[in-house]
Structure 1
Amino acid sequence: MARQVIIPKNSPPPLGPYSPATRAGDTIYVGGVLPTDAEGKLVGDGDVAAQTRHELELIKSVLEAADASLDDVVFNQVLLRDMSDYAAMNAVYRTYFPKDPPARFCIRADLVRPEFLVEIIATAHVSRQG
């Protein structure tokens, strides 16, 4: 099966050897999205809600670059630096998935930089027309 690397315009630079997303068949795997802008600068310093919003907007742009949308997301993985941020993250998250949200797990984890409060990984499924 052929795979396609997806790099949307103005995508933040990866912090390691990975692509923002990869499509394999009808499945789109969005790599760990971090709260950085197109220049790699932190967004939402100390604010998990702002970081969550920024990351979900990045996921949205990655999916749009693959002719998909947030409605196609079937599974999310959420990593929080501190579980005390769970309610604030969820308040933003539910605005992006207000009806029939995808399956998800959320765990506490040490993230790649201490200023990162949340990281989100998404998997989307898009049926091909034809």
Structure 2
Amino acid sequence: MEKKIINTPDAPAPIGPYSQAVQAGNLLFVSGQVPINPATGQLEATDISSEAQQVMKNLDAVLKQAGYSFADVVKTTIFLSDMSLFTAVNEVYGACFTGNFPARETVAVKGLPRGVNVEISMIAMKG
């Protein structure tokens, strides 16, 4: 099975030795996205809801670059700086899916890159 590296300028450039996503067969492994505006490279969100919206926008851009959509997502992991943010993030996240929700876990972590409050990674599948 050959792996294909996925990168798009419509999501933040990786800040380390990793790819935005890797496609292996019909599976797409999307690296965690944070709420950085890819056009400016800056965190412009002013609250947790706008952070979550930017994260989902970044994830959508990576999925689309590979020919996938939120409907193809089978697994997600949500990292939060504090579990008190769960409800606000869940509201934004949930609006991106229509039924047949992916499997998921949500964890609170001590810190996230660039001091953001939310990061989300995904696995998607075609066929």
- TM-score tier, shorter chain, comes to over 0.9
Aligned to 2:49: 49
Q: 5+ unaligned residues in a row in structure 1: which ranges?
A: none
**2:121 & 2:30 partners in 1: Cα distance?**
6
Q: Deviations over 1:47-105 (max 9, x none)?
A: 11111111111111111111111100000000000111001011111101131210000
Distance across 2 between alignment mates of 1:43 and 1:105:
26
Q: How does 1:90-129 map to 2 (within 5 A)?
A: 90-109=90-109, 110-114=111-115, 116-127=116-127
The one-character-per-residue Cα deviations of 1:4-39 (angstroms, maximum 9, x if unpaired) are 010123331211111110100010000010111123
Percent identity, please.
Answer: 34
Q: Find the residue that maps to 2:4 and give its secondary structure.
A: strand
How many corresponding residue pairs? 125
The gaps in structure 2 that reach 5 residues or longer are none
| 2:122 aligned partner, one-letter code | A
Give TM-score, length-normalised by structure 1.
0.91
Q: Which runs of 4+ in 1 moved over 4 A?
A: none
Question: 1:1-130 counterparts in 2 under 5 A?
Answer: 1-38=1-38, 39-45=40-46, 47-109=47-109, 110-114=111-115, 116-127=116-127
**TM-score scaled by length of structure 2:** 0.93
Q: Which residue type is aligned with residue 4 of structure 1?
A: K
